[in-house]
Amino acid sequence: MDDYFKDKNSRVDVIKMDIEGAEGLALKGMEKILNENKDIKFFSEIIPKQLEKTGISAKDYLDILTNAGFSIYEIVEEKDKSHLKLIQPSEFSEFIHLITLKPHPLTNIFCKREDKNVT
């Protein structure tokens, strides 16, 4: 993505990724976008087994996002409504384990950088 946006004078506000496990690879290819667009919001599917096939664990993927300054929220879907649940870095291993126990072992996350200046 960095290559695609290299010569464009564009701001990126939102990224949605659902690329069957290649999210970690895509993330590595958008470092400049993430650094230059501090208010960017990010939606991503997580399928731990698919991520592992590309050489990155789900925990490493979440760690990369956290190290880039993102807070990570699971998009929890219940019957006719959805809500966001903050996932703390200390909860990543358990969070991933619970994903693998689902009948369809995947989940969706929403990521944003928190405004550190808000009191």
Task: Convert the pLDDT of each residue in 11-26 to its tens digit.
Answer: 777 888 777 777 777 7
Q: In this structure, what CATH number is given to the domain that contains residue 16?
A: 3.30.950
Written as tens digits, the pLDDT of the chain (119 aa) is 655 566 666 777 788 877 777 777 777 777 777 877 788 898 999 989 988 888 889 999 899 899 889 999 999 988 889 999 999 999 999 999 999 988 888 899 999 997 654 43
- Provide the number of structural domains found in the chain: 1
Does 119 reside within a domain? no
Q: Is residue 36 situated within a structural domain?
A: yes
Q: Is residue 48 in a domain?
A: yes
Residues in the chain: 119
118/112 Cα distance (integer angstroms) = 15
The beta strands (E) that lie in 1-119 are given as: 14-17, 41-46, 70-78, 81-87, 107-113
Confirm whether 118 is domain-assigned: no
Hey, what are 89's tokens?
């870095």
Q: What is the separation, in whole angstroms, between the first and last Cα of the chain?
A: 34
> Which domain range does residue 80 map to?
2-113
Residue pair 22/1 in contact (Cβ under 8 Å)? The answer is no
Helix, strand or coil, per DSSP, at residue 22: coil
Would residue 96 count as lying in a domain? yes
Residue type present at position 100: T
**Domain annotation covers residue 24:** yes
| Amino acid in position 25 | L
State which amino acid sits at residue 50: Q
**Domain assignment of residue 102, yes or no:** yes
